[in-house]
Amino acid sequence: MKKILITVVLALSLLRSYADEGMWLPLLLGEQVYSEMQKKGLKLTKDQLYNINKASLKDAIIIFGNGCTGEIVSSQGLIFTNHHCGYDAIATASTVEHNYLRDGFYAKSQQEEIRSAITVQFLVRIDDVTKEVNDSLGTLLGRARADKQAAVLAAINKRLSKADEFIECRVSPLFKGNQFLAFIYQRYKDVRLVGAPPESVGKFGGDTDNWEWPRHTGDFSIFRVYMSKDGKPAEYSEANVPLKPKYFLPVSIRPLKDGDFAMIWGYPGSTNRYETSLGVNLSIDINNPTLVKLRDVRLKYMFTEMQKDAGTKLKLASNYASVANYWKFYDGETKQLLKYDVAGQKKKAEAEFINWAKGKPEYENIFPEWEKVYAAWRPYAKHRVYMNEGIFGSPLIAYAASLIQLEAALVKTSATKDDVTKAVNAAVEARKGFLEDHDLPSDQNILGAVLQMFYNDIPKEQYPIGFFEGVKGSFGDLKDEATWKAYAASVFKNTMILNDEKWNAFVANPEAVKLQEDPAFVIASAFFKNYSVKFMPRFQEFTIKNNDLGRLYLKGILEMNPAKAKKMYPDATFTMRVSYGNVKSYVPRDAVKYDYVTTSKGLLEKYKAGDYEFDLPSKQIDLLKKKDFGQYGDKQRGELVIGFITTNDITGGNSGSPVINGNGELIGLAFDGNYEALSHKMAFDKDLNRTICVDIRYVLWCIDKLGGASNIIKELKLMK
């Protein structure tokens, strides 16, 4: 009987898996979680993970572009990252005749690799500068503290940077400004596109599958970083040679098991795990639903035009993908925050703190003051979202707003002719970039729609003075959709921004009055100046007070439980972090259990010929039906594994991060989270959180069998 009971308990413990919370600083792993990582299956030493004097695993992890992670996977500087991280570079390299986004691309030699605008950064070291910063700040509060902190951090960044060596320092405030670490990077500017699967593979499932498991997306792309012949970072040159990295990741093609150790290294962008119930409620009530509503409109009109022809799809693809990604995220986040009563959970923790803070002058008034701060800002929060996601969600109006700087130069009595010339030249250059990516039909529809939504949703006392009256006087009933369609059409027809003849005439003789009469500039100027004068100061005051109270609250939390404080991790700040966990199946709801991998069988089941989201290359269908998996197939399953899930803690910025086994070998690329745990920026769900990864065997199969690029495979160190 006892033996049976032990067996049952063990079985239940295996079914109930827990995710592993924490995005840990690599230099502190030994003090905080290294022993736990060993227990879960890590075989590497602390020095093999992070060492500033010797080559270590951290030297293979890079900041890729402006917001992703990548990893070095060969002795020739080869980079793996996500398809969506390389998306803009792939789209930029594409033309209608050579559509690499649609058809895929693999360089069969280094000479065929394509120059890109992407740069990558390697972490050199991390310095703790907390004492220096705190000594400079003293007891300052409010704007004085914010201004002084900005100046101190700028001085440290300047001191530790070396432009001639491409060394850059960025000090990151952690624990709400209770700790300051200086992250020193070396930037490489010559990065070339090596390969990418067809978009139908790299984005398989599209928006329907985004943030969902099971997933069958081949979300990867390949680049290479180059250096000068003398081994230093350099601007692009044909004379440059592939980087000789300090460290690169070997690649495992061995099968995965449920429960295998997995760690993820990378650059998670931002979390707010120490947010209060006040902040959670602001997101639930105002910020998130407003953003989702506005992005929904923008996506609808872009998608309509993208379906019409390949050229428009190429033009809008990158922007559409960016808008769509967080449209679904914030919709899901709101639902999960409500479902699991995250505000209520935080309220309980705050009650404990409030009780502890009684009689402690530094802390006892934090929450009464905080409630006043939020009450003062809430009436204007929706307006701010409408500015960012609505008014400036129109590319035309966003560009027109940039001309406010030109207007300032034209009306400034002390401005010199050179000042005006510089402002005009900057506007001309920016216009070129704007027009290259601009799609008139979708933008015109977006503008009409968001202006009507602003009119309906924002209180009248917050309107730009005279704007809506002017539209009504010329175009009619402001509640009528036809009015706004006609107004938007008039703006697009008459703005000089979209008319080369009118624009060139203005550039030849720039006058403030001419700019101020332009219909697109009228909108941008009216809304921007209304916001910047009336509401931006309120937001700045809210932010400064919120930061001060947040810092004090977290300082108190650290004091309240010193033992727990030693095992706390800071919020993500797009600085190098490590998370650890296991490959793991899960049970999202009653009677449903998700396996830890997806396979080619499921991929074929989802496939729909000609579908916008679920199409695949005919060659891939043929190969998969024949089960032509080469060395990458899973013999036990008799299929090709496409993706897998782990319990690791990640967030945006971890896109492209390497998923690494206990031996330090690459097993996949992280690219998404699951819908059931989209509250993860504010609250980690230990039961349901999963990281969605593309299996490295599918990546290699796509390169080798589908793409025919065996030259890339030969460059890797495969562990069989």
Per annotation, catalytic residue among 94, 655, 657, 679: 655
Contact 447, 491 (CB under 8 A): yes
* Across 137-165, average pLDDT: 97
Which two tokens mark 206? Answer: 């599209």
Q: Tell me the average pLDDT across 82-107.
A: 95
Flag whether pLDDT at 627 surpasses 60: yes
Question: Could you read off the pLDDT of 234-269 as tens digits, one per residue?
Answer: 999 999 999 999 999 999 999 999 999 999 999 999
Which SS3 state, helix, strand or coil, does residue 652 take? coil
- Binning pLDDT at 50, 70 and 90, where does residue 19 land? low
Identify the helix (H) or strand (E) that includes residue 275. Answer: none
**pLDDT for the residue numbered 1:** 30
Residues 456, 320: contact at Cβ < 8 Å? no
Q: Is the pLDDT of residue 233 over 80?
A: yes
The Cα–Cα gap between 114 and 129 comes to 40
Residue 309 binned pLDDT confidence (cut-offs 50, 70, 90) = confident
Residue 260 annotated to the active site: no
202: tokens are: 């790299």
Decide: helix, strand or coil at residue 667.
strand
Question: What are 351-398's pLDDT values in tens digits?
Answer: 999 999 999 999 999 999 999 999 999 999 999 999 999 999 999 999
3-state secondary structure at position 124 = strand
Rg (CA), the chain: 27
Instruction: Give the per-residue pLDDT at 4.
Output: 33
Annotated active-site residue in 190, 219, 548, 672:
219
Contacts by 589-597, CB closer than 8 A, 24 or more apart: 594/213, 594/214, 594/645, 595/214, 596/256, 596/258, 596/644, 596/645, 597/256, 597/634, 597/637, 597/641, 597/642, 597/643, 597/644, 597/645, 597/695
d(CA 399, CA 429): 11
Average pLDDT over residues 623-640: 96
Return the domain boundaries, the chain: 37-143+151-175+181-247, 274-378+538-570, 394-534
Element holding 220 (H helix, E strand):
none
What percent of the chain has a predicted confidence (pLDDT) above 90?
Answer: 91
**Is 219 a known active-site residue?**
yes
Distance CA 95, CA 671 (A): 27
Q: What is the Cα–Cα distance from 286 to 275, expressed in whole angstroms?
A: 16
Average pLDDT over every residue of 61-69: 97
Average pLDDT over residues 593-608: 98
Give the Å distances, CA to CA, from 19 to 361, 411, 584, 650, 685: 38, 59, 9, 11, 7
Taking only the tens place, the pLDDT of each residue in 425-442 is: 999 999 999 999 899 999
CA atoms of 686 and 664, how far apart (whole Å): 25
Q: Which of 382-391, 409-418, 660-669 has the lowest mean pLDDT?
A: 409-418
List the single range of 10-19, 352-361, 622-631 with lowest mean pLDDT.
Answer: 10-19
Helix, strand, or coil (residue 227): strand
Active-site residue 655, yes or no? yes
* pLDDT beyond 80 at 16: no
Cβ atoms within 10 Å, residue 433: 10
Residue 13 has pLDDT above 80, yes or no: no
pLDDT band at 18 (very low <50, low <70, confident <90, very high): low
Query: Which of 263, 266, 284 lies closest to 275 in space, CA to CA?
Result: 284
Average pLDDT score over the chain = 94
pTM above 0.95, yes or no: no
Across the range 450-476, mean pLDDT stands at 97
**What are the E-state strand segments in 65-189?**
68-72, 78-81, 105-106, 114-115, 120-128, 167-174, 179-188
In which element (H, E) is residue 221 found?
strand 221-227
Q: Which of 84, 216, 383, 680 is catalytic?
A: 84
Find the mean pLDDT for residues 338-361: 96
What integer pLDDT is reported at residue 453 of this predicted model? 98
- What count of other Cβ atoms lies within 10 Å of the Cβ of residue 493? 11
In this structure, what is the dihedral angle of CA atoms 229, 231, 234, 240, given to the nearest 10 degrees? 30
Average pLDDT for residues 442-453, to the nearest whole number? 98
Q: How many residues does the chain have?
A: 720
